[in-house]
Structure 1
Amino acid sequence: MAGVTSKVSLLPKEIGSLSRTVLHDRPGTLFVLGANGGMRVAPDADFPLFFGRNERDVHVCVGAGDTCVSRRQGLITRESSRWMLRNTGKLPIRFPGSRLVLGGDRAELPAGYTPLFVVSARQEHLLEVRIVVSASPPGAGAGPEAYEEQTQGRDLRELSPRERLVLVCLAQRYLRDDPQPQPLAWAQVAFELGELRPRERWSAKRAAHIVAKVRKRLSKEDGVPGLLEEEVPPPVGNALNHNLITDLLVTTTIVKADLRMLD
């Protein structure tokens, strides 16, 4: 209807991470974003939102290509004044931290930004959720054109520009939704950074040293577990860097939009 915003609308994947956006909309409006886009649902829409692996059977796709994820992994509905998450699949869904919502269980979604993770044996698949807290400012629209960038300083880890560059390069398979992501090999990190910044002397040893310093600092200053060799049972392999990347993703310290640094 002309002049009236739809109660349910699509979000293009180009929107970027919901962790770094201010959403001008009615309080209680739900935004959900997967790898291929998402949806906006008004609090009075009476619209059950399904998410899962099979893009044709759900409103928001998560875990495409990972057959461990259920075709319909979960459901978000409005009940009274609350948005409720229900796990309809077999895999657990993890809130930030260690809280798990198991198959058949339900949980209330908090206001604000919440990254959810479908925990597969292959990887954890990110589903971003944001519930609008404050009302729109006068004259603000409600569609994707009303999005503005912001920095969420509450949980972000402190990284220097050089550290961020190396870590985004190291974690790019995670940020690009690789179905079985692993940290990039040090030699590949050095090669890509050397191509990107040919005047700087990049080597595998230099890149590894920068990341090792970040792991030690976050372990000591922020209490992040699993970043030191003595905390991980052998064989260590990629576990230390995987744990670091997972923490940076959960805290939205690095997001998909950071991939533009590698362009």
Structure 2
Amino acid sequence: MTVYSLSILKGGSGKTTTAADLVAALAALGRRVLAIDLDQQGNLTRRLGVTDDTEIDAVAADVLTGDASAPEAAIPSPSVPGASVLVGTHDLADLDQRPEIITSLRDHLPEFAELWDDVVIDTPPAMGLVTLAALAAADVVIAPVECATEAYDQLGRLNEVIDRRIAPRLRPGQQLHWIVPTKYRHRRLIDREVVELLTEQFPGRVTSPVREAVAVKDAYTDGKPVSIYAPGSPIAEDYSDALATIIGRPAPQRKSPAPIPAHG
């Protein structure tokens, strides 16, 4: 079982979109995937097709507190065959006063390695105890970073938290493994500069960028990852390339590169 945790301390960075497409990419390889939504807004839950009408016996918060096991709480994703979901709800907001949850996923998930091949954890855009729990459980830490200076600045804070609070004892040797540049526009100078800076500061850990696209919002409305909502679209191809690097599989070959539209 490989546990992927996605984290960045800024909303709107494409973190949940990236998490959903990672779930879809792993499932497409025939792997059994558990998606854990630790954001109280439940955006990953919705991107994986779960609605208010979906029958749910327990949620992600129940698993963190030990009131339910992961198999008891997991439900099949309506939009990603082969994937299951631990639903994110507002109950997660009450857990920042429960320090015992920090090691809950780290200790609990290995018990069910025979049920799932991979786990993808989406975190809230804040460094509370819930996010620490995800970082402590992770085999692979991924930071989707919007191609903007303010989002880039958040990487320093994330690195500091991992180095000071996670790596010493909670997950010895933990680090930031991958950075996915998102909302990329080739013709905008700041976007190219951010990618260059990331590549210089984190050599070997930056994937190819994922462009900005209207399909991201449309896919959310339809309750699907982008690659399932609009397969073959430029942004779906971007995610295929970026996530293939992370998963460790070669990206699919295309006859010609997809054109990058001019924006702004």
TM-score by length of 2: 0.28
Q: Higher Cα Rg: structure 1 or 2?
A: 1
Greater RCO (CA < 8 Å, at least 6 residues apart): 2
Q: Which one has the bigger strand percentage?
A: 1
Q: Which one has the bigger helix percentage?
A: 2
